[in-house]
Structure 1
Amino acid sequence: MAGLALGLAALLGVPGLAATSACVPPGAWVEPTAAGPRALAVDDLLDRLARRPAVLLGERHDSAAHHQWQLATLAALQTRRPDLSLGLEMVPRRLQPVLDRWVAGELEERAFLEALDWPAIWGYDAELYLPILRFARDRRVPLLALNVERQLVRRVRAEGLAAVPASEREGVGRPAPASRAYQVQLHRLWQHHPFVPNSGQRRPGLEDPSFVRFVESQQLWDRAMAETIADRRRRHPGAPVVALIGNGHLAGGHGVPHQLQALGLGEAAWLLPWDAGLDCAVLQPGLATAVFGVVSPPPAGLKLGVYLETHAGRVEIHQVAPASLAERSGLRVGDRITAIDGQPVSSARQVIERLAAHPAGRPLGLRFERGGRSLVLQLALPGP
C-alpha cells in the first residue's frame, strides 16, 4: 500500500462532482472558513507558512499537476527558509542513507532509483517525483525517509497493532487514538477492499474487527511519518520540515496532523491541491490550512475509477473510487490488470496510454487476474 490516493470528493464521501469549482480558482490560494472560502494573498501566506514547524503538502500520487504545485511551493518556502528539510512519504526509514548520498551528489540518477528500488517501495511513476528530487539535490535540501516497511503495515492490517511486539514496530510508538471523523473517512475507502463483503450483504460497520485493524494500519503509517518529522525538529530546532504526503493522510487534519499535535507540533500546516471540478461542498473548515487551485486533467485511469501501482511488472489496482465504472463492473483492490484490448501490459503507464488511445464508443477489453483466475470484462468507457 502506498498511501491513500483517492481524490478529495471520493475520499470525503461527497456524491458527485460540481460542474465548476469557482470556490477555488486555478492558481489561487484559498482558506476554508465557516463563512465560506477566503482568498489568500500568496506572499503573506508563504511568509506565515515559513514560520511553521512543519508544512505538509498533499498530493494524489499519480497527478503531475499536484507534483508541479508541490515543487513550486517547496521552492518558494526554501527561498524563505534555506534551512528546511524535505520529508518523503514514499521512502521507508531504512533507505535514509540512500537519500543522504543523493543529496551529497554521490549517486547518479539511475543508481539512485535502483538503490531505492523505487518500483518496489512505491509503484508510482518516478518521473512524477524526479523534478522535486533533483531540486533537493541541487539545493542540498536534506531529504527525510518518513515511513516504515510495507510488510509492517500489512502485518498490522492482518493481525492488529497489539499483536505486533513493540520491538518489531520499527521504533514507532503507539498512535494517538483515531477520531470518529477519521474512522468514517477511512471506512469509505475500506469498503472497496476485496476482503469486504459486497454481494448484497450488509457492509460491516466501524466496529468490525477487520476494519479496526485497517484503521490501526493507517494510524501506524501516520504515526511513523509524524515521529520522523518530530525527531528532525528535535535534532534541528527551529528548522522547518516540508513533507510530501498523500491527501488521505492529511484531509481534515485526522491523520499526520493529528499525530503531530499529539507529539507537540500542533502548529503544523497542511495544504491540499484542489482539482477543477471538485464539489465546493468539500471545502469545509478544518479540511486544510489552505488549498491551491490546480489545473489537472484526470489521468486516463480515472475513466475506470481506479488508481494503479506497478510492482515487478505487475499492474495492480490500488484504489477503486466509489460509484465509479470500476466499482459497478466489479473490479476490486488487488486485482492485477494483465491486458488491454488483448495487448499485454506490465506497467501502470502502459495501461494509462492504452486507455487514452482507446477509440471512443468502442467497448474496451480488460483482462485481469484475481485469486489465480484470469477474467475478462468488456467495458464502455465514458467519453472525454
Structure 2
Amino acid sequence: MSAPSRFGTFALACALAVPFALPAQAQGVATQCLVAGGWARLEGASPQLVDGTGLIPAMAQRAVVLLGEQHDDMDHHRWQLQTLAALHAQRPDLVIGFEMFPRRVQPVLDRWVAGELTEAEFIAQSDWGKVWSMPAELYLPLFHFARLNRIPMLALNIDAALTRAVAANGWSSVPEGEREGVGQAAPALPDYEDFLFEIHRQHVAARGHGSARAGKAGRDEPGFRNFVDSQLAWDRAMAEALIAGRKRHADARGALPLAVGIVGSGHVRFGHGIAHQLRDLGESSIGQLLPVGADTPCGELPTGLADAVFGVPVARVASPPPPRLGVALEEHPRGVRIGEVTPGSLAARSGLRPADIVIEAAGVAIRRAGELIVAVRRQPPGTWLPLRLERDGKTLELVVRFPPER
C-alpha cells in the first residue's frame, strides 16, 4: 500500500536514503576496509577499525547523535535499535527524534510513550499511512523501545503540505504564519548543493522530461532553487526540533538530555544537512553515525562522511514483506478514499477502483488510512479480508484474497 506521490517529502526522503557512492573517478582503490558487525572511524588516509566499547561512550557525551538509515533496509533499523540501546545504557537521559513524524502529531507520540495507546491506535492516530510510506514494521521495534523505557519521542519533520508549497514556489513565498514556526535555514554548503543538484537532475529525468533537458537544468533554474529551499527547510525543522526537544525535557537541575535523531542518511552525510543547521543554531557537539555494507570499498568511505560507520553484514537477514494492496489512500469524511490503484496489484485483482470509499474492513469501521493499513498488514497469507465500500453512491462488498505464503 503506498501513499500518493509527494515530491519534496517522501520521494525526496527515498533519494536521500540511498546508499552513498562516490563518482567512479573519485573512488580510488577498491580495497575493503570494514568487517561485518564492526565499527570504523573515518579518520586519516583510510577508515580505522575501532572497538564500539570506546566509540559509544564518546558519542554518549555529545549533545546530539544522528543515526542514518536507508529507509527500506531492516538491518539499518536493527542497527539503530542496537545503537540506541548502547547509548541509553551509557546515558539514560535520552530523547529520540524521528524524521518520519511531522510535528503536528507530537501529542500522539507523547501518549504512545506514556502507554496510553495500543500499537494499532498509535499507527492510526499518527497518520502513519499518510505521513510515511514505509511499512510500520520497519520502525516498530524502535517505537516499542521508546515506550518500554519511557524515552520521549520527538516529531522532527514538517507537514507534507508545507514541503510541497516550498518545493513549488520557494521558501519566501510561504507566509510566515504557515511555516510551522520553522526559521530561516542557513544556506546550503556548496558540496551539499552539488549532491542535491544530482538528485534533482535524476528526478527530472525519471519524471519523463527527457535526459537532455535534465542535463541542461541550471543551478539558477527556479525549480532547482525551490527544491534546495524545500530540503533546507526540512533539515532546519529537524535541527530546531532536536534542540527544542532537549530543552523541553531538561531535568529539574536544567541538565539537557542526549538527543538521538533517526533520519535518512542523506541528512547525515558529511554534516551537510541537519548538522549544518545545528551548527548555525549554535550547537556543535554532534555525533554522526552511519550503517554501510561491510563490503563497502575504502574509496567510498572518505574522511568526513561521518564520525564512524558500522559494517552491516552483506548477507542480509530477509524480512518477509507485509501484505500490500497497491493503492494510494486519502482521508475522507465517510472512511478512506482510494486515490490510485496500481495496475496488476492485489487491489486491482480484487476489483477496487479509484474513488472507492472503504468504510469497513472485516466488519470494523475504517475512519483513517492507518486503520486500513493495519488491517491489511495483519492479514495472514492465504486468507480473505472482506471490505465494505461506497462506489457511485452505492454500498458494495468486496473480498480481498491474499495469496498463500510461498
TM-score, L = length of structure 1:
0.76
Once the two structures are TM-superposed, the CA of residue 340 in structure 1 deviates from its matched residue by: 6.8
Whether the aligned pair in 2 keeps the contact of 1:18 and 1:279 (CA below 8 Å) is: no
CA distance in 1, matches of 2:346, 2:294: 31
Q: Which amino acid aligns with 1:80?
A: Q
Q: Please, which of 200, 209, 219 is the counterpart of residue 212 of structure 2?
A: 200
Q: Please, which of 275, 280, 285 is the counterpart of residue 267 of structure 1?
A: 285
Q: 1:153 to 1:336 in 2, by over 3 A?
A: farther
Paired position in structure 2 for 1:218: 231
- 1:222-253: CA deviations, max 9, x gaps? 00000001112333243110110001111111
Paired position in structure 2 for 1:240: 258
Once the two structures are TM-superposed, the CA of residue 343 in structure 1 deviates from its matched residue by: 7.5
Q: Answer with 291-300 or 16-25: which moved more.
A: 16-25
Q: Please, which of 17, 20, 30 is the counterpart of residue 9 of structure 1?
A: 20
Once the two structures are TM-superposed, the CA of residue 15 in structure 1 deviates from its matched residue by: 7.6
Whether the aligned pair in 1 keeps the contact of 2:75 and 2:317 (CA below 8 Å) is: no
**What does residue range 47-196 of structure 1 map to in structure 2 within 5 Å?**
47-194=57-204
Once the two structures are TM-superposed, the CA of residue 337 in structure 1 deviates from its matched residue by: 4.8
CA RMSD across the alignment: 3.1
Once the two structures are TM-superposed, the CA of residue 284 in structure 1 deviates from its matched residue by: 0.9
Residue 203 of structure 2 aligns to a residue in which SS?
Answer: coil
- 1:276-321: CA deviations, max 9, x gaps? 4434322111100111001255799xxxxxxxxx898239xxxxxx
Q: Please, which of 336, 344, 353 is the counterpart of residue 339 of structure 1?
A: 344
Whether the aligned pair in 2 keeps the contact of 1:50 and 1:80 (CA below 8 Å) is: yes
CA distance in 1, matches of 2:97, 2:347: 41
Once the two structures are TM-superposed, the CA of residue 126 in structure 1 deviates from its matched residue by: 0.3
Q: 1:18 to 1:279 in 2, by over 3 A?
A: farther
CA distance in 2, matches of 1:250, 1:105: 31
Q: Which amino acid aligns with 1:213?
A: N
**What does residue range 282-321 of structure 1 map to in structure 2 within 5 Å?**
282-296=300-314, 313-314=327-328
CA distance in 1, matches of 2:349, 2:216: 35
Residue 155 of structure 2 aligns to a residue in which SS?
Answer: strand
CA distance in 1, matches of 2:191, 2:140: 34
Q: Please, which of 254, 259, 273 is the counterpart of residue 272 of structure 2?
A: 254
Count of aligned pairs: 319
Whether the aligned pair in 1 keeps the contact of 2:27 and 2:300 (CA below 8 Å) is: no
Point out the structure with max Rg over C-alpha. Answer: 2
Q: Which amino acid aligns with 1:145?
A: A
Q: Which amino acid aligns with 1:338?
A: P
CA distance in 2, matches of 1:176, 1:222: 10
**What does residue range 318-333 of structure 1 map to in structure 2 within 5 Å?**
none
Whether the aligned pair in 1 keeps the contact of 2:185 and 2:277 (CA below 8 Å) is: yes
Residue 100 of structure 2 aligns to a residue in which SS?
Answer: strand
Q: 1:299 to 1:40 in 2, by over 3 A?
A: closer
Gaps of 5+ in 1: 301-309, 316-334, 349-384
- 1:108-144: CA deviations, max 9, x gaps? 1101101012111101010010011111101101100
- 1:64-90: CA deviations, max 9, x gaps? 000000000000111111110100100
Once the two structures are TM-superposed, the CA of residue 7 in structure 1 deviates from its matched residue by: 2.4
CA distance in 2, matches of 1:275, 1:82: 29
Once the two structures are TM-superposed, the CA of residue 200 in structure 1 deviates from its matched residue by: 3.0
Whether the aligned pair in 2 keeps the contact of 1:21 and 1:276 (CA below 8 Å) is: no
CA distance in 1, matches of 2:313, 2:46: 22
Whether the aligned pair in 2 keeps the contact of 1:160 and 1:213 (CA below 8 Å) is: yes
Gaps of 5+ in 2: 1-8, 319-323, 330-339, 353-371, 374-406
Whether the aligned pair in 1 keeps the contact of 2:56 and 2:86 (CA below 8 Å) is: yes
CA distance in 2, matches of 1:260, 1:196: 36
- 1:163-202: CA deviations, max 9, x gaps? 1122211000000110110001111111122458424344
CA distance in 1, matches of 2:276, 2:293: 24
Q: 1:206 to 1:299 in 2, by over 3 A?
A: farther
Q: 1:311 to 1:246 in 2, by over 3 A?
A: farther
Residue 269 of structure 1 aligns to a residue in which SS?
Answer: strand
Whether the aligned pair in 2 keeps the contact of 1:32 and 1:288 (CA below 8 Å) is: yes
Q: Answer with 153-162 or 233-242: which moved more.
A: 233-242
